[in-house]
Structure 1
Amino acid sequence: MTANTTNTPAIKVVVIGGGYAGVMAANRLTQRDDIAVTLVNPRPKFVERLRLHQHVAGEPAPVVDYQEILSERIQLVVDTATGINATGRTVTLGGGDTLAYDYLIYAPGSGSFDLTSISGAEEFAHPVANLEAASRLREIVDATPSSAPVTVVGSGATGVEVATELADQGRAVTLVCGKVLCPYLHPRVRRKFAKRLAQLNVNVIVGPDAIVTAVSSHAVQLQDGRELPSEVTIWTAGFSVPDLARRSGLSTDDTGRLLTDETLTSVDSDRILAAGDSASPSGMPFRASCATARPLGAFAADAILARLDKRQPKEVNIGTGFQCFALGRNAAIVQLASMHDVATRFSISGALAQKIKSSSYGLLTEELSKEARKPGSFTWRFKDKKRREKLNQRRDMTRQVA
């Protein structure tokens, strides 16, 4: 740690968001003892979002006390950030307080798709993107007979995991996929998914017309006019990010993510950095996942530490290499991928895949806890060389147009 003197005022860093990215960044900043870190989060406990599908199916709320994963030097403020004043370097909170900062890390995460655009969806469809929504849905599922039809809309990781978890309990589940089942997958691995879904008797609806146009209390209507009976409709398709950055007058991409350079620094202010699902470096955001959130949080913290040491921050370089999917309580598949996050024809299944998936839950929180005890210990081995090539190509094209 860098020693602090009594005459040196603390450097104030505010971190907005207590998810994987925000906690990682906050812990990492404690490498210097002249930094005072404040973490702002709307909930008093950390939510393991990767396990929300299990909560919907009856497991206890997947929460962890912040004292287990957050450095004791960090001040936790349970509130919601409602505004950012980049010029005055302040954050306004929902409770009325204002926090001053020297540096700000923007990591509010992501949430559910805006259901208001689908007829009846806001009233009759149930999202799963946060703890409160998952808890409400669990109560609805518990109160619904096991023979009642359940429709899951969306075939990304969340949709597949929720559908298979409920089907594993013997529920009648229909999975509405859109054009293709889990677009991320390699076709060869997708066939394994389809086989597993068939084993669980999940009715998979896929194709160009498998788009939901309306939801009612007892049915889901598709683009081609088909009407599916549905006593419980679960919405996992699409996602959104908080509009805090946009409302605060900061530059964002089309989705609302904070627009940054490759050091994760806002294009509007070198005192604001972004990490996690709400970051858009060079307008080329990484896949929204804990796999990228943790290293992005580390990169954002390292950028601040570099500037304080009068060094040039490093440009972000994160590869992924795989994605894990739970396919019911006792099955999983690990889709292997290139460092550029493109799925390959290879995968891991069987007992090994199940072990990898189940152990990942605890390993992720252990990483955060270790970073709290030994800040700077987290490392990320996967690197993506193609991202740099793609950025250079785009810059060359921009110069040619100019």
Structure 2
Amino acid sequence: MSETTQVVVVGGGYAGVMAANRLSGRDDVAVTLVNAQPAFVERIRLHQRVAGSHDAVVDYREVLGSTVRLEVATVERIDATGRRLVLAGGRTLAYDYLVYAVGSASAVPTVPGAAEHAYPLASLEEADRLAPELAAAGPGARVTVVGAGPSGIETASELAEQGRTVTLVAGDLAGPYLHPKGRLAVLDELGRLGVTVVQGPGALVTAVTADAVQLADGRDMPSDVTIWTAGFAVPDLAARSGLSTDAAGRLLTDETLTSVDDERIVAAGDAAAPSDLPYRMSCQAAGQLGGAAADTVLARLAGAAPAPAAVGFLGQCLSLGRGAGLFQFANRGDVPVRAFLGGRLGARAGAWLKELVCRSTVKQLTWEARRPGVLRYPAFVGDPRRREVLRRSTAEPHDVVAAA
């Protein structure tokens, strides 16, 4: 190993930027961030980019530490044996340690016609393909949003607030993460905005055409623009490189986020599967995992044993247009509780909190860039239920699935 340790972070989202900034705190570590985009994308604002209320991008100079080198490139393969990345075009980039933070993207839909006729919304490129289609369709166009997780709910709300005719096709249940009380508050606000919510056993999409969405119960719903927010997937870079992954393609790691194949590779964010029990895909988890991945590398450089990642959740925050929002509180294990901020009395407070969350998520990255290590989470924020599941998986392997 050279006197200066070369650490390469693949992926410039919430987890990757947090990891790169944390690592930049050591003078004997040279950090390179490899990302396909030249600017930081606020994924939690992509629905706003489509609606025109925010551009959802931030200059990397605002969120990256001054010593972090940005390499705008696409990684084709990880050569773990040679400790190098093979970039598009054939160039290579050597590393001593690698942080795998490639994030997630829209899952390729298997529903007939969806890939051809529906517009996904999980990346900047997808948002920029959708926006002109909405503009060309005109304000009177019938818009159908398929998928009623956070992305679907926020997109439907944002467009309906502009006066568009929006139908949200939720499948079995709208807002499946939410507590029933929080879900009712969201449905009330969607109704106030004029969104038609279709949910239940018959509301599964069976086909998409250029001008309609077909449901399992036989309904044929006219749709001028169909937006697909049903599901996320991770890039196949790890699997393509011969590294061990879970069934969804996430890099398999131990609780210190170290690859089960190579201690020089650590993972963070949506594409990490610690102990084959991945955390919910979210910027809330990504920031914590990014810092923890960097801490694992720094511990090894110091000759110390890395600590297990400690990730805790507060809940889920939703924007419901610009004037309303909801924060669903959860316990540390990411299980929603009865308490929420929103509803008829707290909708504006929920909107204010959602905007605060969006701004503070970026602000935290800038804090870490200026003072690496400032955003540390104590071990007690971790989920005690996770520790119990892991303990049982060691003692009783056959009970893991049931316990999880």
Same fold (TM over 0.5): yes
| Match status 1:213 vs 2:206 | yes
Mapped to 2, the partners of 1:227 and 1:396 lie a distance apart of: 52
SS in 2 for 1:296: helix
In the alignment, which of 251, 254, 263 is matched to residue 258 of structure 1?
251
- Write the letter of the residue equivalent to 2:213: V
Question: With structure 1 as the length reference, what TM-score do the two structures score?
Answer: 0.96
Name 1:172's counterpart in structure 2.
Answer: 165
In the alignment, which of 287, 304, 312 is matched to residue 297 of structure 2?
304
The answer for unaligned runs of 5 or more in structure 1 is 1-6
Cα deviation, residue 96, structure 1: 1.9
| Match status 1:374 vs 2:371 | yes
Mapped to 2, the partners of 1:77 and 1:334 lie a distance apart of: 36
Mapped to 1, the partners of 2:48 and 2:361 lie a distance apart of: 17
The residue correspondences of 1:1-400 to structure 2 (distance < 5 A) are 9-115=3-109, 117-349=110-342, 350=346, 351-380=348-377, 382-398=381-397
Residues 44-91 of structure 1: CA distance to partner in whole angstroms, max 9, x if unpaired? Answer: 100011110111112342111111111111111000111001111110
Mapped to 2, the partners of 1:148 and 1:87 lie a distance apart of: 54
Cα deviation, residue 379, structure 1: 2.3
Name 1:3's counterpart in structure 2.
Answer: none
Mapped to 2, the partners of 1:8 and 1:249 lie a distance apart of: 26
Cα deviation, residue 113, structure 1: 1.2
Mapped to 2, the partners of 1:179 and 1:27 lie a distance apart of: 41
RMSD over equivalenced CA pairs, Å:
1.5
Mapped to 1, the partners of 2:159 and 2:389 lie a distance apart of: 41
Aligned length: 394
- Write the letter of the residue equivalent to 1:209: G
Residues 328-348 of structure 1: CA distance to partner in whole angstroms, max 9, x if unpaired? Answer: 111000000010000001101
Cα deviation, residue 380, structure 1: 2.9
Cα deviation, residue 400, structure 1: 9.3
The answer for unaligned runs of 5 or more in structure 2 is none
Residues 250-273 of structure 1: CA distance to partner in whole angstroms, max 9, x if unpaired? Answer: 000011000000000000000000
SS in 1 for 2:105: coil
Does the aligned pair in 2 maintain the 1:79–1:95 contact within 8 Å? Answer: no
Residues 264-315 of structure 1: CA distance to partner in whole angstroms, max 9, x if unpaired? Answer: 0000000000000000000100010100000100000000000111111010
Residues 103-146 of structure 1: CA distance to partner in whole angstroms, max 9, x if unpaired? Answer: 0000010000112x221111110011000100111111111122
Name 1:4's counterpart in structure 2.
Answer: none
Mapped to 1, the partners of 2:182 and 2:69 lie a distance apart of: 45
Q: Percent identity?
A: 53
Question: With structure 2 as the length reference, what TM-score do the two structures score?
Answer: 0.95
- Write the letter of the residue equivalent to 1:309: A
